[in-house]
Amino acid sequence: MYLQLKRLADIILSLTALTILLPFFIIIALAILITSGRPIFFLQERVGKNWKKFRIIKFRTMVKNAENIGPGISSYNDERVTEIGKLLRKFKIDELPQFINVLSGDMSIIGPRPELLQYVNQFKNDYLKILTVKPGISDYASVKFRDEASILRRTNDSEAIYLRDILPEKIKLYNKYIEEMNFFVDIKILYSTFKAII
């Protein structure tokens, strides 16, 4: 019952959010187009529930083809991030198009963050459990590592630090969510997310 109601809530909330945010999306799209050209959106393959691959949607915050000229993880001082991209990332605005992923059924509003396949494969045993639920826009780990880019700015090897120190902690929090997941937990995380952004 919980999962059916969660899906219904995801549809209603994502439709409402996309409707309200549409004028805002147009302004952001124009700003990206004017300052750094096309594409407006950044699509990247992630691993979802039951190991199904899907393309996560974000506003593009980096230079074109950034994924081909650097690691999958970016830090605060990553030279690939555009000026407008820094602003969008600061307030997590680049994540808003993921409501489209929620509407399509690949993601939920609350759930473990979807990861790149190469990182999932390095923690495959852990992800056997994590990928039994839909990934989400926000969760415990998103709130705790709200300023992840700033943490990674202190190293020249952001990918190594992410895999050694950050992702294992995120995995613990993903499991915590799976063990506790219910509507009250979802509401608590949603509130904490807004509080962290503000």
Q: pTM of the entire structure?
A: 0.90
- The model's confidence at residue 75, banded by pLDDT at 50, 70 and 90, is low
What is the domain extent for residue 52?
2-197
Give the torsion through C-alpha atoms of 179, 110, 83, 16, to 10 deg: 180
| Helix-helix angle 183-197:2-36, to 10 degrees | 20
What's the total number of domains in the chain?
A: 1
- The model's confidence at residue 184, banded by pLDDT at 50, 70 and 90, is very high
Distance CA 10, CA 20 (A): 15
Distance CA 84, CA 28 (A): 9
3-class SS of residue 38 = coil
Whether residue 67 has pLDDT greater than 90? no
pLDDT score of 147: 77
Whether residue 32 has pLDDT greater than 70? yes
For the chain, what percent of residues have pLDDT higher than 70?
93
First vs last C-alpha separation in the chain: 33
* CB burial readout 114-148, b (16+ within 10 A) else e: bbbeebbeebeebbeebbebbbbbbbbbbbebbeb
φ, ψ of residue 69 to 5 degrees: the values are -125, 25
